[in-house]
Structure 1
Amino acid sequence: MITTLRRAAVAAVLTVLPLTMTAPVQAASPVRAAVLGESAPLGVAVGLLPVSDESREGYTRTKFRHWNAGADLTDGCDTRREVLIAEAMAAPAVGARCALTGGEWSSYYDEQHVVGASGLDIDHMVPLAEAWDSGASVWTAARREAYANDQGAPASLVAVTARSNRSKADKDPGEWLPPAASALCRYAVEWTSTKLRWGLAVDEEEQRRLFQLAAGCGDETVSWTPAP
């Protein structure tokens, strides 16, 4: 949880700095990246992301199969329900065919308390269309399915209010940020870690906004595990 002071710092950075600012941390060299391994300060981690133009040519959502049977093939729950169960603050009752009843969740994008799973979407931290634009267009169908159902990293899939998820849609941080000031640093960390995990690129505007966020997020650190 970031402090009130840090929230104010993030808000000030986003208000004052233009999107055309020079990045405060330059992209790390291959040697530097090797030394850092799989953990780095947020600003350095952003610098590790390759910068590339994006193209949505050929994209359709059906090229990312989801939700599949999930990580546990024996419980009858698909990925969506497994994420809901894992992220619940108060566990729902799990009935036949993994029907969920009750339960409580916290949507960190907008600081909303949600009772009942019907008010929630499972958001891909980096949306499927954005992943396609950033490198997934050359993946195999099996790798895109693994991405769309990734439970190997907590940041990959997140339960949030349907309203905030649909406001975000397929936008990157250069186009959309969570409405709650308390969410900004966490969002920047999780977006960056997801792109690093899957070897995805960023465009220039996206990178500028991530550097802006990093400048106001103090000593936030990004940790990631490369996807298998």
Structure 2
Amino acid sequence: MPKFYARRRLSTLAALTCLIASAALFDGPSASAALPTPVSASTARSYLSQLTVAAENRTGYSRDLFPTWITISGACNTREWILKRDGTNVTTDSSCYPTSGSWYSPYDGATWTSPTDVDIDHLVPLAEAWDSGASRWTTSQRQAFANDVTRPQLLAVTDNVNQAKGDQDPATWVPSRSAYVCTYVRAWVQVKYYYDLSVDSAEKSALQGYLAGC
């Protein structure tokens, strides 16, 4: 079990687990919901200094070990909830599938009017999480991570941009839209810190470099 679950965030994890199990804490996708703002650059630098540096190990990884998407509210699963949150003037049918709206992708600055052009990105990819400590988690803990709508871990972005990113960390990939890079790395460090995930040496060096310019 990661130190996170035994040390830093036990009570919060319990609340998140309840959310995953019942979906009762949400009244429904709300137009007032917004992508969580990541911690400040100074806080991210402090968090980064506390992360364990370790080599990555992908032995045994399968995406199926991170169940997605789960019901968040009513008929809405995680993907649909994020599409509602991150979109503009989004309307949905009775099954919560978007029938109209637009989505601005902060990674590349593109705007889309079809939900099929939009992916929900795991900012810290599932494979990266596995490499960094999630291999020791239970399935329910990995499910909570894969469907975390509370931290800046899930966001709607251009589909082919998300696919090009794949499972890369900031040592090899950051958004092409330079105005978003600082936000991206701050969010990356926040998520890794919250879940007590490690960083490899190249990843930490890249994060330090980006954060120094934030």
TM-score bracket relative to the smaller structure: 0.7 to 0.9
Distance 2:119 2:64 in 1: 18
Unpaired segments ≥5 residues, structure 1 = 1-37, 218-228
Stretches (4+) displaced over 4 A: none
Measure how far apart 1:195 and its partner are.
0.6
Map of 2:194 onto structure 1? 197
Deviations 1:142-178 (A, max 9, x none): 000111111122x110100001101100000011111
2:208 is matched with 211
SS at match of 1:159: strand
CA distance in 1, matches of 2:91, 2:78: 17
In 2: Cα distance, 1:184 partner to 1:116 partner:
25
The amino acid of 2:123's aligned partner reads M
Counterpart amino acid of residue 161 in structure 2? S
Q: How many residues align?
A: 175
Partners of 2:213 and 2:91 in 1: CA distance:
40
Partner residue, 1:47: 49
Larger radius of gyration: 1
Alpha-carbon distance in 1 for matches of 2:142, 2:89 = 30
Q: Which range is displaced more, 113-122 or 52-61? A: 113-122
Match status 1:64 vs 2:62: no
Q: Which residue of 2 aligns with 1:140?
A: 138
Equivalent residue letter for 2:204: Q
3-state SS of the aligned residue for 1:51? coil
Deviations 1:47-73 (A, max 9, x none): 121111110000011000000112x2x
Distance (Å, rounded) in 1 between the aligned partners of 2:181 and 2:150: 23
Distance 2:100 2:50 in 1: 42
Within 2, Cα distance between the matches of 1:188 and 1:166? 19
Aligned-partner residue type, residue 173 of structure 2: W
- Confirm whether residue 82 of structure 1 aligns to residue 84 of structure 2: no
Amino acid across the alignment from 2:132: S
Deviation at 1:116, TM superposition (A): 2.2
Q: Which amino acid aligns with 1:83?
A: I
Q: Using the alignment, how far apart are the partners of 1:150 and 1:118 within structure 2?
A: 21
SS at the partner of 1:98?
coil
Q: For residues 132 and 158 of structure 1, what CA distance do their matches in structure 2 show?
A: 20
Q: CA RMSD in A?
A: 1.3
The answer on whether the counterparts of 2:55 and 2:200 sit within 8 Å (CA) in structure 1 is: yes
3-state SS, counterpart of residue 129 of structure 2: helix
What's the CA shift for 1:196? Answer: 1.0
* Partners of 2:159 and 2:107 in 1: CA distance: 11
With normalisation by structure 2, the TM-score equals: 0.79
Query: What is the Cα deviation at residue 91 of structure 1?
Result: 2.5
Amino acid at match of 1:159: A
Percent identity reads: 38
* Equivalent-residue separation in structure 2 for 1:113 and 1:49 (angstroms): 35
How far apart, in 2, do the equivalents of 1:79 and 1:50 lie? 30
Alignment TM-score, normalising by the size of structure 1: 0.74
| Contact 2:133–2:198 under 8 Å retained in 1 | yes
